[in-house]
Structure 1
Amino acid sequence: MKKYFIVAFVSAVLFGAWGCKKLSEDTPLELIGQDVIFDKTDSLGVNAEKFLNSIYAGLPNGNNRISNNILDAGTDDALPNAVGDAVQYFSNDGISPSNVVDNVWAKNYANIRKTNIFLANIDVVPLNLKGYKERWKAEAHCLRAMSYFELIKRWGGVPLIGDKIFNAEETINVPRNTYQQCVDYILSELDAAMPYLLTANSSTNGTFAANFYGRFGRGAAMALKSRLLLYAASPLNNPGNDLNKWTSAAAAAKAVMDSVTATKFTYALNSAATTGHYTTTTLAGVAPGATLATYVTNVNKFLSVFTTASNNEIILPYMTANNSTVEAYNDPVGYTRASFSGKTNPTQELVNEYEMTNGKLITETGSGYVATNPYYDRDPRFPATITFDGLYWLNRKVQTYDGGLDRPFGYGRVTKGETRTGYYMRKFMTSNSSGTSYSNYPHIFPIIRYAEILLNYAEAQNEAVGADASVYAAVNAIRTRVGMPTLPAGLTQAQMRDKIRHERRVEFAFEEHRFWDIRRWKIAATVLNGTLHGVQGTILGGVVTYKTVDAANTKFEANKGYLFPIPLNEVISNKSMVQNPNW
């Protein structure tokens, strides 16, 4: 356990997303001491703020972070395009204590240590900006809360170290706290911080709070509390189904919603097509002509959430400089600019989850689904999330039939280098006009967005009291935003549960929700034991026919897989560390 506490006081990420002048033009970062960072003569706190920014750099970023894949490629929603990519170990039982994919143990404890250093030293800085020091401390407490949340959602209860700053030479012998103790600690961190955090209507020295987009504000702290309590109420962590936990989770989400109603926060579902990703020309044939213009607007509205540098739907973003990394890793392979060939391949299971625009699943009577034209008139979030055969991208229509530009070898003939399922990821991709070169665009990963708050509330309230009017209102707001029909009246609690889970799946695809949802709901053993599927397209005489095919076998061991194994080096170095069951 020594490893996760042993970090430099300052790292190369010190100059975070907000970018400031260097601490020194010629001094190596590793030689900078705390007396320089927490300078007793620095009345503006320049160096201390840089240190705080470096902690922000440790927030979770979901874009292609695991063997250049997204985390969802380890679920039933997607596969990596290379069979050996580590992310697939989550769906084929390849994880072990010595091979912990997505091992963020050391990263998050390093962030906790940095936070403790900041809190222990910030008071020596003679900051003359009114209210700043209290706000910075509050932000630090929220960052520490986030680090612990990232740990407990993977490992369950972990060691709580409070404000302790361990020296590099110390032998660490700290036992794990219980999951509930960790939840209570995170709640105390968030609750203590909230009075000092900015709201949407806050101002500092006359500067509107929008200038602090990307930092922990009060709304972000409340949103994290909502997610924390939802996870704590879920079957994985609430096996006795204590309804009080669901009630608390509903109240936490409702508090955010009520603050929006009271205009304390300006969060809202994005309702503007700020970027014209598609036109009625490029989406012609994907929806009926009579409704095509509205359909295009709804697709563009949804895509704009992820390609607009700053918008009111994203409560807590992971901030990066403009870049083209998402496109480089996820372009369909037939484009000459494609650098690393479409890594994330959505499954047929996810594709089938998208309803027809009349609100019926493709298997329901009266849906209007036609197998020979399978991608026609589907939920507008479908072409905004998944690249399928015939979807327009950059300067032509994608070809994922066997022998097509984007699947040149065809189904089952290669183990890497092209789609294994017949699909590529569309979400997060910016559709600039060049098919041969990259341009840098905003890619703000939504750690938490307002749509989640609505669905957190709907899920918790439904479990607490059933499908009341407020549950309908929250889910229907999500659907109405993209022009989908409202839910039918009279749903039972179990039926509404299914609808909410469906909505989370299609709304949050590739945003690192499905991976955790199937664990906290304890359904991973159902959805990840068997076979995942794709599509094979065959072209003859210019007509493509499609059939569902096997893409990968999956395996999930319910007796151990719902929690990650504690990394082996942590078990060896900390004699008080207890491994998770059956690992």
Structure 2
Amino acid sequence: MKYINIKWISLIALIVSTLSSCESDLEIVPIELQVLEQVFDTKDSAGVNANRFLTDCYRHLPETGNRVGGDFLDAATDDAVSSNPTNTSVQQLAMGTFNADSYPDNLWTTCYQGIRKTNIFIQNIDRVPLKGQLANGTPLRRVWKAEARFLRALFYFELVKRHGGVPILGDKVYRLEDDIELPRSSYAACVEYIVQQCDAITDSLRMDPFDLPNYGRPTKAAALALKSRILLYAASPLFNGGNIAGQNPLTGYPNFLAERWQHAEEAAKQVMDLKLFRLEPEFKSIFITRNSERIFSKQGGNNTSLENNNGPVGYTSGINNGRTSPSQELVDAFGMANGREITDPASGYDPNDPYTNRDTRFYATIFYNGATWLSRAVQTFEGGADKPGGTRQQTKTSYYLRKFMGNFESAVNYSSVNHDHILFRYAEIVLNYAEARNERLQVPDALVYQAVENIRRRAGLMPFELPKGLTKVQMRDAIHKERRKELAFEEHRFYDVRRWKIAEEIFNKELHAAVIYQTGTGTIRQSIPILKMNFQKRMYLAPIPFYEVIKNPKMEQNPEW
């Protein structure tokens, strides 16, 4: 087996990525020195090569969608299973059948590649006599440097949310002769570093998130959104007093501090106070148009990738691989249009007509038997066009993923729609604020109610108001449920359940599928078990990659890995 540590990964990545945009004659002299001279040209007042280098750093941003072995990360939660009949990566995540050498969602390498590249940029951009400034007078060099620092902070967040404390490299660019056997920084130090980076750059970034010539570059709002997310995680039970390794500073704080919830609340409020964003009236449009709910995205372009990967399999128009099978548990989590849960006797839910009068987010998230798509009804009954049986990959649950797809209900073919990777959107910020404020207070106040009810109002619930007089625990439950419905398949559920430290309960359950039979006298529906999830305490944090631990004696592994 071949082991690679941070030093070699980073150097190789630098050489490969920069060579791809530079002339071949650079191989004549020492590569790293010559690359720096070429990229950070002391005569390039337009910063053409430097900007190209910075743009290349964006490649390392995380993506969403079918990215974990071809599946959504949410197919490793109680919200879905993979339709693939083999033992997929997400099934290994759901079942815990992985080890430190085979973690299916390992971003260690790509994040540290991104960190090294941004450090190189930050260290060298001042050599470029860059002209230009923003309308507010901020020099372009300062803006670009702030963008690189944002990217670096986001790379660290992706590592910290998976592993806890990780090595913080600062601004240093390590070379082959340097001692790279660095220990992990404490969880607290990592959180402090990310927050400090966000605070330091907010006044240097662009303000307008809808500036099309620079769309996809981080703005002040993006930095504040990242700060909101990391502080929400830091305040949550898994890290704030619920450390899975007791006093181990690598895996969380050794003590609980209520003020951490206040810091998370204030960070979310900073984004809200910008008054730049809103909850889009049409839920489906958030994901296929560039709109005023998006805070920061990795550009994915216009295509039909989501439709091809996840569309119901029985259509001849386009490629339909039906990769994602939402669970019956997720379907049941969506309540009725009147705002009540389906278990409420007053909700009007009819088990013989289960898809009528549901929360509008249900229709925007899930294909069900009878839904309209490409000018016909989806058929997920046994033997139907979209659940034909046999060896073809198809739904395991009688449901397919609808979210993120274009509006092709009345079309006959797919056409390209926007499929950017949305990393931060305003609805998350509103829910972050509601959660943090509710946890800080003894009893939820009007501002907590308002935040949650704004989400429910946009969903079209009527009435959208929550019952008055909820306790803190009852409001917590309501917020958790809204996050599940609102943010489904956006890679929050996997980490939310962990940071709430309830995964040993929620992710140790059996998931269910619907089985639907069409008979001459009507429709018969059954619920059957489809997958028994398995969650062990050690899975709250991902293992440090084995190749890092074996190469670096100072790299402490996470508990029980």
TM beyond 0.5: yes
Other-structure match for 1:318: 298
Q: Which of 534, 548, 553 is matched with 1:555 structurally?
A: 534
CA RMSD of aligned residues (A): 2.1
Match of 2:444 among 437, 455, 467: 467
Given that 1:335 and 1:435 are in contact with CA atoms closer than 8 Å, whether structure 2 keeps it comes out as no
Aligned with residue 269 of structure 1, among 254, 279, 297: 279
Cα 1:143/1:403, change in 2 over 3 Å: same
User: SS of 1:160's equivalent?
Assistant: coil
SS in 2 for 1:536: strand
Secondary structure of the structure 1 residue equivalent to 2:269: helix
Taking structure 1 as reference, are residues 27 and 431 closer, same or farther at Cα in structure 2, changes over 3 Å only? farther
Task: Work out which of the residue numbers 441, 461, 466 in structure 1 matches 2:417.
Answer: 441
Alpha-carbon distance between aligned partners in 1 of 2:301 and 2:25, rounded to the nearest angstrom:
25
Partner of 1:391: 371
TM-superposed deviation, 1:195: 1.4
2:130 alignment counterpart: 127
Q: Secondary structure at the match of 2:380?
A: coil
Match of 1:247 in 2: 262
Q: 1:480 aligns to what?
A: 457
Name 1:281's counterpart in structure 2.
Answer: none
SS at match of 1:199: coil
Report the 3-state secondary structure (helix = DSSP H, G, I; strand = E; otherwise coil) of the residue aligned with 1:7: helix
Matches within 5 A, 1:189-338: 189-200=197-208, 209-239=211-241, 240-260=255-275, 266-271=276-281, 301-308=282-289, 310-337=290-317
Alpha carbons of structure 1 residues 568 and 487: separation in structure 2 relative to 1, 3 Å: same
- Aligned equivalents of 2:177 and 2:358: distance in 1? 59
| Worse overlay, 535-544 or 246-255 | 535-544
**1:171–1:421 CA distance, 2 compared to 1 (3 A):** farther
Residue 529 of structure 1, aligned match among 498, 508, 522: 508
Shift of 1:80: 0.5
| 2:488 corresponds to | 509
The alpha-carbon distance between structure 1 residues 342 and 438, as it changes in their structure 2 partners (threshold 3 A), is same
Helix, strand or coil at the partner of 1:72: helix
What is the SS of the residue equivalent to 1:375?
Answer: coil
Deviation of the 1:178 alpha carbon:
0.6
Give me the TM-score of the superposition, normalised by structure 2: 0.90
Tell me the CA shift for residue 37 of structure 1.
1.2
Measured against aligned partners, the alpha-carbon deviations of 1:495-551 in whole angstroms (never above 9, x if no partner) come to 000000000000000000101101100111111113101100001027322111111
Correspondence for 1:91:
94
* CA distances 1:381-430 after superposition (whole Å, capped 9, x unpaired): 00100111110111211000100011101xxx76x611111111000111
Q: Is the 8 A contact 2:96 2:535 kept in 1?
A: yes
| Residues 329-352 of structure 1: per-residue CA shift (max 9 Å, x gap) | 101111124536111111011100
Residues 564-583 of structure 1 mapped to structure 2, 5 A cutoff: 564-583=542-561
In structure 2, do the counterparts of structure 1 residues 371 and 224 end up closer, same or farther at CA, with 3 Å as the change threshold? same
Change (3 A) 1:249 1:540: same
Deviation at 1:57, TM superposition (A): 2.0
CA contact (8 A) 1:4 1:105 kept: no
Partners of 1:374 and 1:26 in 2: CA distance:
67
CA distance in 1, matches of 2:268, 2:335: 27
Equivalent pair of 1:155/1:564 in contact (CA under 8 Å): yes
Partner of 1:186: 194
| Distance change in 2, residues 1:24/1:311 (3 Å) | farther
* Paired letter, 1:333: V
- What are the superposed Cα offsets for residues 201-250 of structure 1, whole Å, 9 maximum, x if unpaired? 9xxxxxx8453221110011001100010000000100244210001100
1:150 to 142, 158, 161: 158
Change (3 A) 1:14 1:248: farther
- Tell me how far apart the structure 1 counterparts of residues 301 and 343 of structure 2 sit (CA, whole Å): 43
The 5 Å alignment of 1:107-126 reads 107-126=110-129
Shift of 1:148: 0.4
Q: Structure 2: which amino acid aligns with 1:268?
A: R
1:74 to 73, 76, 83: 76
Contact residue 394 and residue 431 of structure 1 kept, 8 A: no
CA gap 1:168/1:404 in 2 versus in 1, 3 angstroms: farther
Give the drift of 1:302.
0.5
Shift of 1:324: 1.5
Does the C-alpha gap of structure 1 residues 154 and 462 become closer, same or farther in structure 2, counting only changes over 3 Å?
A: same
User: What is the CA–CA distance in structure 2 between the aligned matches of 1:234 and 1:13, rounded to whole Å?
Assistant: 40
10 and 392 in structure 1: CA distance in 2 versus 1, 3 angstrom threshold:
farther
- TM-score, normalised on structure 1? 0.87
Shift of 1:7: 3.2
Which shifted more, 429-438 or 381-390? 429-438
SS of residue in 2 equivalent to 1:167: coil
Write the letter of the residue equivalent to 2:454: A
State which drifts further: 141-150 or 481-490: 481-490
Q: CA deviation at 1:12?
A: 5.4
1:5 aligns with 2:10: yes
Shift of 1:23: 5.6
Residue 136 of structure 2: aligned partner: none
Q: Secondary structure at the match of 2:418?
A: coil
Deviations 1:151-196 (A, max 9, x none): 0000000001111212246552100011000000111111111111
CA distance in 1, matches of 2:100, 2:67: 20
**Residue pair 1:38, 1:121 contacting (<8 A) in 2 also:** yes
Q: How many residues align?
A: 530
**In structure 1, how many angstroms separate the alpha carbons of the residues matched to 2:35 and 2:199?**
32
Task: Give the distance between the partners of 2:293 and 2:272, measured in 1 at CA.
Answer: 12
SS class of match (1:317) = strand
Q: Secondary structure at the match of 1:128?
A: coil
Any residues of structure 2 matched to 1:320-399 within 5 Å, and which?
320-337=300-317, 339=319, 341-399=321-379
> Residue in 2 aligned with 1:284?
none
Is 1:458 matched up with 2:434? yes
